[in-house]
Amino acid sequence: MADNKDSMWPRGPREQWKAMIWSFQGLRAAWLVESSFRTEVVLFLVLAPLGWYLGQTPVEQILLIGSPMLVMAAELLNSAIEALIDRYGPEQHELAGRAKDMGSAAVFVLLVNMALCWGLIVGPRLLAA
């Protein structure tokens, strides 16, 4: 929900709490209806502890743990785009297809980024062993 444009004050605790509840509702909805999101959550649950352990510096840990988090965030945005387009009907439209494809491409780009992060940080250590 947008902030009141007439107010210069930040959100209060009550509004912050509501925003957090809405965020959890979005995560729950994604978990229930998006198999790709569930796969990425499981991948994160495997990679996050490994990234914590294998990262030798805080920057490496952030890259190894943060890259799968970015993939999940992109998947949430992609799912939101798809839901919004599907809400307006099943008919084919060039712009709707383009928007869905671009959302999917964003997830793909971040998956490549994650593979690069893991490959460049962990790969040389595995090859040296």
What confidence tens digit (pLDDT) does each residue in 53-101 have? 999 999 999 999 999 999 999 999 999 999 999 988 888 889 999 999 9
Q: Is residue 86 part of a domain?
A: yes
98 is a domain residue: yes
DSSP 18: H
Spatial distance between the Cα atoms of 2 and 22, rounded to a whole number of angstroms = 13
Give the CA-trace dihedral at 9, 14, 18, 23, to 10 degrees: 70
Q: What pLDDT shows up at residue 89?
A: 80
**DSSP 3-state assignment of 118?**
helix
Domain that holds residue 116: 35-128
Work out the pLDDT band at 1, boundaries 50, 70, 90: low
Identify whether 1 is part of a domain. no
Residue with tokens 């957090």: 20
Residue 5 lies in a domain: no
Q: How far is CA 46 from CA 4, 26, 50, 99, in A?
A: 41, 22, 7, 31
Indicate whether 69 belongs to any domain.
yes
Which of 40, 75, 82, 94 is the catalytic position? 75
Question: Is residue 54 included in any domain, yes or no?
Answer: yes
pLDDT confidence of residue 5: 63
| Residue 25 covered by a domain | no
CATH code at position 123? 1.10.287.3610
Examine the residue annotation and report whether 94 is marked as an active-site residue of this protein: no
Give a yes or no: residue 26 inside a domain. Answer: no
Task: Output the pTM of the full model.
Answer: 0.87
Counting the structural domains of the chain, the total is 1
Residue 3 has pLDDT above 80, yes or no: no
Mean pLDDT score, 7-19? 83
